Amino acid sequence: MKGVDHLAHERNKTEFDVDAMKIVWAGSRHAFELSDRMARLVASDPAFQKDGRIRLGRKELFKNTLRKAAHAWKRILELHLTEEEAGWLRNFVDEPSFTDLHWGMFVPAIKGQGTDEQQQKWLPLAYKMQIIGSYAQTELGHGSNVQGLETTATFDPETDEFVIHSPTLTSSKWWPGGLGKVSTHAIVYARLITNGQEHGVHGFIVQLRSLDDHMPIPGITIGDIGMKFGNGAYNTMDNGVLTFDHIRIPRNQMLMRVLQVTREGKCVKSNVPRQLIYGTMVFVRQTIVADASTALARAVCIATRYSAVRRQFGSQDGGMETQVIDYKTQQSRLFPLLASAYAFRFVGEWLKWLYTDVTQRLQANDFSILPEAHACTAGLKSLTTTATADAIEECRKLCGGHGYLCASGLPELFAVYVPACTYEGDNVVLLLQVARFLMKTVSQLGSGKKPVGTTAYLGRVQDLLQCCCDVQTAEDWLKPSVVLEAFEARSARMCVARAQNLSKFENPEDGFAELSADLVEASVAHCQLIVVSKFIDKLQQDIPGKGVNRQLQNLCYIYALNLLHKYLGDFLSTGCITPKQASLANDQLRSLYSQIRPNAIALVDAFNYTDHYLGSVLGRYDGNVYPKLYEEAWKDPLNDSVVPDGYHEYIHPMLKQQLRNARL
Ligand SMILES: CCCCCCCCCC/C=C\CCCCC/C=C/C(=O)SCCNC(=O)CCNC(=O)[C@H](O)C(C)(C)COP(=O)(O)OP(=O)(O)OC[C@H]1O[C@@H](n2cnc3c(N)ncnc32)[C@H](O)[C@@H]1OP(=O)(O)O
Ligand SMILES: Cc1cc2nc3c(=O)[nH]c(=O)nc-3n(C[C@H](O)[C@H](O)[C@H](O)COP(=O)(O)OP(=O)(O)OC[C@H]3O[C@@H](n4cnc5c(N)ncnc54)[C@H](O)[C@@H]3O)c2cc1C
């Protein structure tokens, strides 16, 4: 690192091995080395520079994204990068583009829902980018309600083809990323109709544009849906609109792992459950949880470094003013977010493991943990994206006025990140799925069915309904068993109370609708328990590096005790803890903030983000904020001229008018 390090005094306070923590954050030494190499490769390549992209108009911005995507692909081929390396490289390019959907949804959909023959035909083309795919599920009229989609795929036995059609305006495909201007193909979700009968929604591989001149296939109308929230941000993506006028595709382009349509138009079910049609969403939700920690860590890194640079008030005898990070209010807002970044990292790691396990089981025809995998991916996607979007905004406020400048990097990060609360399932709709799973689990307790996995604690429901929290001193809140029991008891009691209320309704669906707001709260409690318990599990691992485990313990208890404070109503009203114990938890929280304080900068350094990736003057590694902020201001196009365009037309005549009025 060249130049003066304005944060050196902070780094000198560190009480743990930062390099070892970098490996814990990355997940392994291999992941660390690989991501570090790719981050530096991108940061050092002028073709990937990001300065000024927020000032580009839509067309320039989009073309710039196409240029970067093409350059990234060129480098991937030239350097013979592996799939893993290529994924990291694209990540550090840090610009949403059609490639996210191609690699993130189109390819996984074919892998997850295609037959062996379909995979053999389509995957090589997709891997070489000889075709570019998107994922066209949502329509103008329906997104959450997948079974409500209107596009039809009618089998024509005479020609052995499906006819894909958009019967209404509301059946127009609407939102798919990469669709508007780039994709040549899409997985299109449509209602399957054979022999006049409906068979639910299925995926079809449909060519959209000519591979020669990129013109839409006759009968297809396609375009971009228009500008989205924020400057730059997600506007690098061509989210699209698409309609079909009786487009014909061969029968073998329906993804047939779940259901096969024969030459005669007969539907033959395979042994895999229907829900596997939703499998791509489970995969992507799992990756979104991992991405949440990355985005949250970016915001926290910026806010933490800047909070150590920024000084306000408190100067005595002409000495230095107080660093804002030393204010207890700043710490109580910032450190729980730092702890959440680590918590989400570890739960993301665990979810990846769960997903891999489910995939292997599915291949062996074991579908038993599919409902749990669905509930975990849906619930954790909802919990982590909501918390991350809120946290990015909180980090902006933690940076005061300068946080509102685009140069802070936070407005763009927020604008890019916030749709994660909606895409891949609206966060409330997903929590309702978790609630269904929880209510089903509770209702089966009486029949002796033993809950497993993340709901195993519900098997101890009788104990959890009666247990009393064993906390007498603030230090007692540093016992994993105490924290875990408080979270388990809160979630179990909320689930049982909701289930009892539901049982009062004659029609369970009416009850579910009426009590849905309460049910969502139980889902949140359950998901928070998962995050806390996976963090505690992480602490039990053998973590090398001086002081690393200690820091992680502090972060884990900050995460848990801050939630306890924030959701105190739940903990008190369900009788899990007493007001006195809650007050002791707060005492412990303050003590933990003091312990984290000297390590805060090193804990964000452990994310190993380059200045290029952070894209923030406030979050610079060297803390040299003010001169760079000053320099940045002069780059604004308004400062190209001293007297602005429009002066002669609008300002000058106004001034003259006032002068005349004054003389009158
Ligand atoms: C500063 C600059 C920074 C730059 C940063 C750049 C970084 C780039 C950032 C980009 C990162 C990532 C890119 C992401 C791109 C986003 C792309 C987005 C794509 C999409 O949004 S695709 C569309 C997604 N759509 C949805 O998610 C729809 C949500 N709806 C549903 O999932 C379902 O319809 C439903 C579950 C809500 C309802 O289903 P339905 O069948 O109608 O009803 P139910 O009766 O409730 O369910 C039936 C049973 O099925 C079970 N079920 C439901 N879903 C699943 C599932 N997925 N898997 C398994 N089982 C499932 C359900 O539990 C029921 O079971 P039961 O009968 O009770 O046993
Ligand atoms: C940036 C972005 C990228 C996207 N990319 C893609 C893509 O590549 N491919 C694709 O197919 N789609 C994509 N989508 C679409 C996305 O998946 C949907 O917008 C999302 O699933 C939400 O569905 P909706 O828009 O129908 O919301 P709605 O369901 O209309 O939600 C509106 C409100 O109704 C509430 N609500 C809905 N149903 C219920 C219920 N049962 N109970 C209680 N409340 C309810 C919701 O909580 C929300 O508050 C993208 C969306 C965005 C914003």
DSSP secondary structure string, 460-520? Answer: GHHHHHH-----SSGGGGG-HHHHHHHHHHHHHHHHHHHHHHHTTSSSHHHHHHHTHHHHH
**pLDDT at residue number 363:** 85
**pLDDT at residue number 1:** 47
Ligand 1 centroid to Cα of residue 253, in Å, is 23
Please tell me if the CB atom of residue 240 comes closer than 6 angstroms to any atom of ligand 1: no
Residue whose CA is at the smallest distance from ligand 1 atom 32:
425
- Mean pLDDT, residues 404-409 taken together: 97
Tokens representing 263 are 């030459």
**Ligand 2 site, CB within 6 A:** 101, 135-138, 142-144, 175-177, 234, 239, 419, 422-423, 425-426, 428-429, 432
**pLDDT at residue number 448:** 83
Least trusted range by pLDDT, from 102-106, 368-372, 410-414, 618-622: 368-372
Quick one: 130-270 is in which CATH superfamily?
Answer: Butyryl-CoA Dehydrogenase, subunit A, domain 2 (2.40.110.10)
**pLDDT at residue number 317:** 79
Domains in the chain: boundaries: 130-270
- Mean pLDDT, residues 247-276 taken together: 95
Q: Is the per-residue pLDDT at 299 higher than 90? A: yes
Is the reported ipTM for this assembly greater than 0.95? Answer: yes
Q: At what angle do helices 328-363 and 579-596 cross, to 10 degrees?
A: 100
Indicate the pLDDT class of residue 289, thresholds 50, 70 and 90: very high
Ligand 1 centroid to Cα of residue 426, in Å, is 8
CA distance 497 to 503: 10
CA distance 458 to 382: 22
Indicate the pLDDT class of residue 2, thresholds 50, 70 and 90: low
- Mean pLDDT, residues 325-334 taken together: 98
Mean of all residue pLDDT scores within the chain: 96
Residue whose CA is at the smallest distance from ligand 2 atom 21:
425
Q: Is the per-residue pLDDT at 189 higher than 70? A: yes
Please tell me if the CB atom of residue 347 comes closer than 6 angstroms to any atom of ligand 1: no
CA distance 4 to 13: 17
Tokens representing 48 are 């990937």
**pLDDT at residue number 659:** 64
**pLDDT at residue number 316:** 79
- Would you say 459 is a known binding-site residue? no
Catalytic residue set: 424
- Mean pLDDT, residues 329-355 taken together: 98
The percentage of residues in the chain with a pLDDT greater than 90, rounded to a whole number, is 94
- Mean pLDDT, residues 108-127 taken together: 97
**pLDDT at residue number 663:** 67
Q: Are 181 and 282 in contact (CB under 8 A)?
A: no
Indicate the pLDDT class of residue 449, thresholds 50, 70 and 90: confident
**pLDDT at residue number 177:** 98
Ligand 2 centroid to Cα of residue 143, in Å, is 5
Residue whose CA is at the smallest distance from ligand 2 atom 39:
429
Please tell me if the CB atom of residue 412 comes closer than 6 angstroms to any atom of ligand 1: yes
Residue whose CA is at the smallest distance from ligand 1 atom 42:
147
Contacts of 8 (CB under 8 A, 6+ apart): none
Ligand 2 centroid to Cα of residue 420, in Å, is 10
Pairing of strands 133-136, 240-244: unpaired
Please tell me if the CB atom of residue 418 comes closer than 6 angstroms to any atom of ligand 1: no
Which residue from 100, 429, 514 has its CB within 8 A of the most atoms of ligand 2, so it is best to mutate? Answer: 429
Please tell me if the CB atom of residue 370 comes closer than 6 angstroms to any atom of ligand 1: yes
**pLDDT at residue number 658:** 66
Each residue's pLDDT tens digit, 521-575? 999 999 999 999 999 999 999 999 999 999 999 999 999 999 999 999 999 999 9
Q: Is the per-residue pLDDT at 577 higher than 90? A: yes
Residue whose CA is at the smallest distance from ligand 1 atom 14:
100
